[in-house]
Amino acid sequence: VTAPAPGSGTGATAEASTHRYSVGELRDFAARVFRSAGLPEGHADTAAEVLTAADLRGIDTHGVARLHQYYEMLVQGRVNPRADVRILRETPSTARMDGDNGLGLVVGPAANELAIEKAAAAGSGWVSVGNSNHFGIAGIYSLRALERDCIGWVMTSSPPQVAPFQGVGRMLGTNPIAIAFPGRAEPPMVMDFTTSAISFGRLEDAIRTGGALPEGTAIDREGRMTTDPHAVKDGGALVPLGSDAARGAHKGYCLAAMVDVLSCVLSGANWGPFAPPFPADLPDSGRRVGKGLGHLFGVLPIASFREPDEFKEAMDHWMREFRGAPAAPGTGGPEIPGHREHHSSVRRRREGIPLSGTVVEGLRHLGVRAGVLFD
């Protein structure tokens, strides 16, 4: 069995499934599960909204399939269900926040909203937030900024799974970056990707299905390239974007380090190897240099630079020009980042969200634990 090609997500497997749910059904279920774990109603709704946005966008590894992992962190008392997200320091355009060890799906939206408000008031907004936890897909935050005619820029640290370039062992998170730009008639362009060669979700998938990892994405405990996902768990690591020196892994390492510093060192969160585990069953060194995980939200109002409508028209032109470039042999030609996720959202809103039998079984099991029916 081989793993799917990069960029193909895991939606294809679920798409073939016969179980389909409306986004409203999944959102209601997730919100009730969060409430049963102690979240106030507004926070539970926010968290459910962010989580199911991943399902809509076809990023199945980060949607309701992960709900049990957040639930586990909450019921084990490792995440604070009643977080009071606070500003520690601020200027008109910047803030450092403390997430009070809350669910990242609640802390992230609060910090992102502050960055958007600051951008509207001061011409740009930057918020670095620590003492947080896993916040779901980065892209959904960058898309929020578009509703206010802004460009959204988001990054987050995550638990250590990635070796530093020319190093051995898990020291960096898969540390994704997302940036979103609006179009006028065209869907937004959204880059949303890990700075590692593959995501941790892909590693989990390979372990669950007994598949192999793609070549050039992981090393074993001695630093030799491997496609065996168990070798990664057993002291190995994922490698930075680029895979190896010839393919620019030093630059993937630079990007991951940038995310780590802006999200964690700046906010006072645990950087690199000190980040706390998520999901709960990952090994934990217990060593800490700060509080929780960290994220950075940056918001640039387009009007600070150019008339928003003019910019959006120019973006439409940009996207059409690139989509119209000749296709390389054996490909469907260039795509615009974020468009396949946009089309997935439109289709899944209409036809429902397909869930594999395994995910449905998992949600039923979780429903029994949380006292919330899932059928």
Min dist. Cβ of residue 89 to ligand NAD (A): 24
Q: Which DSSP helix (H) or strand (E) runs through 94?
A: strand 94-98
Smallest distance from ligand NAD to CB 91, Å: 27
CB 224 within 8 A of CB 235: no
What's the distance, Cα to Cα, between the start and end of the chain in Å? 31
State which residue, 16 or 327, has the beta carbon closest to ligand NAD. 327
Gap between the Cα atoms of 91 and 263, Å rounded? 18
Q: Residue 174 Cβ, how far from ligand NAD at the closest point, in Å?
A: 4
CB of 74 to ligand NAD, least distance (A): 17
80 versus 199: smaller Cβ distance to ligand NAD: 199
**CB-nearer residue toward ligand NAD: 37 or 162:** 162
CB atoms within 10 A of CB 91: 9
In the complex with ligand NAD, the residue whose CB is nearer, 278 or 374, is 278
Min dist CB 245 to ligand NAD, Å, is 21
Which residue number, 262 or 372, has a Cβ lying nearer to ligand NAD? 262
Q: Tokens standing for 324?
A: 């119209």
Q: How far is the CB of 343 from ligand NAD (least distance, A)?
A: 10
Residues that bind ligand NAD (CB under 6 A): 6-7, 9, 59, 62, 134-139, 156, 158, 174, 176, 178, 190-194, 199, 335, 337-338, 340-341
- Euclidean distance between CA atoms 159 and 209, whole angstroms: 22
Work out how close the CB of 52 gets to ligand NAD at its nearest, in angstroms, rounded to a whole number. 14
| Least distance to ligand NAD, CB of residue 61, Å | 7
* Short-list 198, 197, 212, 177, CA closest to 244: 197
CA distances (Å), origin 306, targets 117, 300, 309: 19, 11, 9
| 6 vs 169, beta carbon nearer ligand NAD | 6
Distances from the Cα of 64 to the Cα of 68, 246, 253, angstroms = 8, 38, 30
By C-beta, is 57 or 367 nearer to ligand NAD?
A: 57
Nearer to ligand NAD, 188 or 236 (CB): 188
Q: Where are the alpha helices (DSSP H) in the chain?
A: 11-15, 23-36, 41-56, 67-75, 104-122, 139-146, 200-209, 229-233, 249-260, 308-323, 339-351, 357-370
Separation CA 63–CA 155 (nearest Å): 18
User: Are 270 and 288 within 8 A, CB to CB?
Assistant: yes
The residue of the chain with the least Cβ separation from ligand NAD equals 7
